[in-house]
Structure 1
Amino acid sequence: MARTTSNLTNTQVKQAKKSEKEYTLSDGGGLQLRVRPSGSKLWVLKYTQPVTKRRTNFGLGSYPEVSLADARRKMQEAKVLLSQGIDPKAHRDEQSEAKREATESTFGVIADKWLTLKRQQVNPETANANYRALEKHILPLLKNTPVENIKPKHIINILEPVKAKGNLETVKRLCRIINEIMRLAVAGGYIEVNYLADVTKMFPAPKRKHMPTIKPERLPELMQTLNRANITRTTRCLIEWQLHTMIRPKEASTVEWDHIDTVNGIWEIPADIMKMKIPHKVPLTPQAMQILELMRPISGNRNHVFPGHRNPNTHTNTQTANMALKRMGFEGELVAHGLRSLASTTLNEQGFDPDIIESALAHIDKNEVRRAYNRAEYLERRRKLMEWWSNHIEKASYGSVSVTGTRSLRIVG
């Protein structure tokens, strides 16, 4: 005769007492309540695995969190899976893993990983500024969304209001950042394809804005205005240092005495200071060396060549040259970065090799082999170019207005 099992009642389940040994109460269909010596009660389904045909157990939760009715419902759900040849325990584990992966692969989580890597690749301030743009426009809507669920339409809907305001540069920057994050997700195995690769094509390209600069024929005007300006010696020397070295404002403002090789006339800029994170050497002309000699009594005992006005133990503000040019009447016409463009235009007009000019400006050649050659072989050719440029500045100054000239200067100490 077949063994019969009566169904449990809620009262039986509730009043089941602990014992010295674990025991089970059967509800039928393989559903059991295990009562442990500690008094805890666990629902278990005994079933046969569809592939191996082995008998195994499937935990359905603890009582009273899982009631008798809940346990019976879970048993029925498991049996539906078994009827389809699916192991309910493996199915649950797969779902748990999918949920875990979804939590670890949200756009916000990958964006945080991107930020960590970006801080090592570019200036941390730049990386943080990009992340703030994400926080303002993207993360409020996509932070908790798994990257595999993000499609072009999501990004387009988010960026349309930004475009409507005319902020096309912001749209372009956000598209670039989003794609960097999605490419990181591909590299990490979170997604197989970046469906956002072409989303930038849905928006008009912003009109390129060049840094304000003056035409080469206005260089004498700049030098004469600089000579008459009511500025400090440090600011005056900083502007001329940028002009002679053709280096970016931030790199010029943060130069340290330890970076200067006075014996060989070389300014060695470390990679962490350079915009592209590649070290750069600048051949220093006699005029540039003269600027250093003018600064030595002011900052020779400190770290930075151009010390800060309020705190001389740090470097001068990176906007100092810009503010000075603005006060000198060049607002909207010339910024400190535009001094590089002034040099580039002049040198190109004089027929200098464009590759040498680009190397002097520390622009990165996309061809890695040629870039390595440029760094190795162009230094002396750049020195000749820099010497011509410094001499040209002095000629434009008529020998009297540059800080490297021999006649008197009108500079506020």
Structure 2
Amino acid sequence: MALTDTALRKLKNSETGQKADEGGLFLDVMPGGAKVWRMRYRLAGKQEKITLGDYPTYSLAEARSWRDDCKALVGRGLSPMCLKRGDPIPDDAQPATKELAHLFIREWCLKAREKVKAKEEARKAGDTVEAFGAVWYAEVVEPANTNPRNIKRVLEKDVYPAIGAKQLAEVTVTDILAITDKVKARGADQMALQTRNVLKRFFAYAIARQKTQFNPAAAIEGRFIAQARSRDVALTPDEIGKLLRAIYQSSMKRAHKLALHLLILCMVRKSELIEAKWSELDLENGEWAIPGERMKKDKPHLVPLSRQAVAMFEELKGLASGSEWVFPSRWDLDQPIAKSTLNVAVRALAVEVRDFVIHDFRRTASTHLHEAGFNSDWIEKALAHEAKGIRGIYNRAQYLDQRRDMLQWWADFVDSQIEEGRKVVIGRFGKAFLAA
């Protein structure tokens, strides 16, 4: 029974074997799923077999046209198989036969090679790191990650410029190390480790899709790139400015921008800020009294507020929609924002700053205050670190006045890092504290 286009379209890879058409033409469905047009014919009492190419590169109509040309050659005593192989046309062949043979070679043998070459070039183009990266990102990264932008930034910033044009199978361990070394040279050891981890998952998927057989990123142990250890980042003044400008230029909610700025200024922990209630704040006197049950050491903590911080809290009051929480959830005003909200906001930032986490804000403040010569006891109290021994016993005054002056200096210092022409619109609080 002759093949049809409909039957060919519905043909499954699992239906292996030969699917006969007419006149010796058949489609050979290989175990790996490839579908190849072939033809059997007899010449001088011997059976021969010739291959055209795969389906659907060659349609059913093209395969039948090729079959008819093969049969015409056989009828004149010429072997299509020998012509395809490159054997010379017999000298004693009739002129019409020679013309038919040349036409067959030109139309089917030479063009077939061109098709194979074009197909291979197209396959190679799809097997470059950048081309396959687009497939991996769309099929795996976006559906499975809550914040896929981080992975996209790794690919576009560090991977594609280095190896984007390379074939997947040609990427070496040396290529991966060159990428991670370049990231480490920026002072971002942990980002280098993250980049290696992204590439490890990327090549694992490429292997699963049979695009390559080797995972060069997996061949590098993470400990040879960076140690997955506790954070020790303190942002430089320049990085503080870059970070805050990126925060205020981003599309995140205004309340979240102010929250991140307050975390830098007030030196409190993230949970202490996002779970703050308006009842704890005395904006008239510039003080924030955090109850002991919300503190790590179960002891109440009094935070003297800078003029900038007071202005930010005043703005947040208008954004809170009457909620008792300073940072109410958008879904439920009776609950504060989720603990992960600010982390997600930070990870989404497009900023040229070393890999950091929110907790680094406290270390950053401590580092710069110590460098500026402020008393360690004041700094430790601002961080709610309880001093032990005699220093702790005689620390009853809590250095409130000293801490107020220190945190005002710190707020001014931080603000001066954004000052680069005041190109960043940071909002009403800027005018409020400048007028104070």
* TM-score, scaled to structure 2: 0.43
TM-score (norm 1): 0.46
